[in-house]
Structure 1
Amino acid sequence: MFNSDSVVNLSNRVYRRRQRVNRMMLALSGATVVFGLFWLCWLLLTLFIKGGAALSLTLLTESTPPPGADGGLLNAILGSVMMAAVATLIGTPIGVLAGTYLAEYGRRGWLAPATRFLNDVLLSAPSIIIGLFIYAIYVAQVEHYSGWAGAFALAILVIPVVVRSTDNMLMLVPNSLREAAAALGCPQWRVVMFICYRAARSGIITGVLLAIARISGETAPLLFTALNNQFMSMNMNAPIANLPVVIFQYAASPYEDWNRLAWAGAVMITLLVLGINIAARTLFRK
């Protein structure tokens, strides 16, 4: 028998109640978005107002100065680039190979689930713990801070990000592609190299870029490993300047010129991370 109360119309009390609930939840969702964007915009506006005025060509041509003198952040920028490059070169192959095992070879058994769990733990571990770990096993043994120690700490932060992205992207590759290649007599390593990697290339590159964006602003692990250097130095076996630690030290100093350099360094790191994230999302869309 036809029930008029079940008809979706404005006179239906159930429909009106659901419509009110829907509007209320949409309003709450919109309010939370506005709330989050407000603080984000305030943070970025403050950052660019205070740091934008300090941006100049001098930042890229001169080293960090003593108090009361003019200078830039060249030595800190070079140190950060060197450590991030070494960390990426170390962490990317390990992460890609580990992610490949999880997606392609470890679909059965207990090892792959256990590895994924430990990788998730490492992914969410505070970076200061990584710095203390490298300090204990490397810095304390060689008895001095160094750029290598900083690069090793950053590499440990790179690995879980690359493992997760590689694993996820390879799992999205259709099994029909693997089966078609296997039917033609292609060995599994060739299937992975020439089919799976090509299909998941954009996602893997995205994970690497996101890992670089993560380590670009890490300060805590570098305080226990690379420390800092006031002068220009490209010796990775000695303490080396880097942007995050320079920003930390200069922002806490009582000198206004150092404070301005700290704001300028923060703007540079923000623009770098923003650019990397935009590039990663552009690649992922393709």
Structure 2
Amino acid sequence: MSHSISDAKPAAAGAPAATRLASRRLPRWSPLAIAVGAIVVGVAIGAGFGLKSHLQWGLIALILFVGGSYAITAQVEGRRQAKDRVATSLIWASFILAVIPLYSLVQTTISKGVKVLDGTFLTHSMNNVLTIEPGGGVYHAIIGTLEQVAIATVIAAPIGILTAVYLVEYGRGTLAKWVTFFVDVMTGVPSIVAGLFILSLWFVALGKAPASGFAGSLALAILMLPVVVRSTEEMLKLVPNELREASLALGVPKWRTITKVVIPTALGGITTGVMLAIARIAGESAPIALLVFGSNMINTNPFSGPQSSLPYYIYQQYGNGNDPSYARAWGAALVLIAFVMILNLVARGIARWKAPKR
């Protein structure tokens, strides 16, 4: 015992020095300083070696930033903190690499699309407008997109929600496994395959020759259905079982427990999933090209005659191959991005509004 006590004294005497050494930390501004230094050196290396691509300059700066962060942190704080700093640096680098293409896309679309985006563009169609001349608008495509997406939502949302309720609340045995399997398969179905399926069913089997927006909505509903099922299923699984058990303990039937307790509790998440599924199908053009054919005129009847949509309008205008058509395509792309962004903001607002209050 005396040996252990005497051995402990030198350690205690040396404790302040060890504490001071272990407490060494880089200042908070050090990552920014390292990043600036890496960018400067990366630009110098890229310019010195005659590298024309700025992407190469950025990759060199990224490598220097990660390596410099590790070397400096290991020297001051130790290897363990250096590894943590490298992991953090890689996460931030991945975030930046993901944001740069998105920023470039949005910036390019806004800069080119805003040139034609005005009241005339939003309230006129392409009827009697020459593709090689400026003018015309996207009004007919907006109407087509809204009607086709609305019909697809009316079809897919109830079926998807009820399917998810079955899988979570009743799904046991072989049938539930097969339903889950087919939902997983439908999640990966390409949009062109959904369009071909409706084409063969609608035009060949049923003999419905004329194109219509409703036929396109059926294909969009196929694409939307698995997204609604999966999102709703996950939201229903998050509802605590204690709520179900409390309701059942009071003698409430299971169907009433589901409609009055489970679904209202998960309503915010379910609504968000449906809105995101709508945003998913709003940009599909392949089924529309196969089933709706597109039109330059305003057609407010989705059950009769060809009808346009924003994605198909973009494809059609860009395929014309002239500057006025390119400008209209960029303007329609900006309208479509705004439409999807509004849907996402609405979904976030509903999720926040329906979130459980603490």
Do these two structures clear the TM 0.5 threshold for a shared fold by scoring above it?
yes
Structure with bigger gyration radius: 2
Distance in 2 between residues matched to 1:215 and 1:34, nearest whole Å: 27
Is 2:99 the partner of 1:37? yes
8 Å CA contact retained: 1:95, 1:159: yes
Is 2:113 the partner of 1:47? no
After TM superposition, list the pairs within 5 Å mapping 1:170-209 onto structure 2: 170-209=236-275
CA drift at 1:69: 5.2
8 Å CA contact retained: 1:79, 1:240: yes
The code of the aligned residue for 1:192 comes to: I
After TM superposition, list the pairs within 5 Å mapping 1:107-126 onto structure 2: 108-126=172-190
CA drift at 1:109: 1.8
CA drift at 1:257: 1.8
1:96-118 per-residue CA deviation (whole Å, 9 max, x = no partner) reads 10011011111x32332332232
Partner residue, 1:22? 84
Distance in 2 between residues matched to 1:23 and 1:139, nearest whole Å: 60
Residue 17 and residue 150 in structure 1: after superposition, are their counterparts in 2 closer, same or farther (change >3 A)? same
The code of the aligned residue for 2:289 comes to: L
CA drift at 1:16: 3.0
CA drift at 1:30: 1.1
Which one of the candidate residues 158, 172, 190 is aligned to 1:93?
158
Distance in 2 between residues matched to 1:19 and 1:118, nearest whole Å: 47
Distance in 2 between residues matched to 1:111 and 1:20, nearest whole Å: 52
After TM superposition, list the pairs within 5 Å mapping 1:146-185 onto structure 2: 146-185=212-251
Distance in 1 between residues matched to 2:22 and 2:192, nearest whole Å: 58
Partner residue, 1:103? 168
CA drift at 1:66: 2.8
8 Å CA contact retained: 1:250, 1:259: yes
Alignment root-mean-square deviation, CA: 2.2
The code of the aligned residue for 2:181 comes to: F
CA drift at 1:159: 1.0
Partner residue, 1:57? 119
Which one of the candidate residues 136, 139, 142 is aligned to 1:71?
136
Partner residue, 1:253? 320
The number of residue pairs the alignment matches comes to: 281
Distance in 2 between residues matched to 1:139 and 1:266, nearest whole Å: 30
CA drift at 1:272: 1.1
Q: Structure 2: 5+ residue runs without aligned partners? A: 12-17, 24-73
Which one of the candidate residues 331, 336, 341 is aligned to 1:264?
331
8 Å CA contact retained: 2:189, 2:223: no
Distance in 2 between residues matched to 1:29 and 1:145, nearest whole Å: 49
The SS at the match of 1:55 is: coil
Structure scoring higher RCO (CA < 8 A, sep ≥ 6) equals 1
Q: Structure 1: 5+ residue runs without aligned partners? A: none
Distance in 2 between residues matched to 1:10 and 1:282, nearest whole Å: 46
TM-score (norm: length of structure 2): 0.74
Percent identical across equivalent pairs?
Answer: 40
Runs of 4+ with deviation above 6 angstroms:
1-4
CA drift at 1:122: 1.2
Partner residue, 1:217? 283
Greater shift, 254-263 or 197-206, is seen at 254-263
Distance in 2 between residues matched to 1:282 and 1:148, nearest whole Å: 30
Distance in 1 between residues matched to 2:135 and 2:100, nearest whole Å: 35
Partner residue, 2:296? 230
The SS at the match of 1:150 is: helix
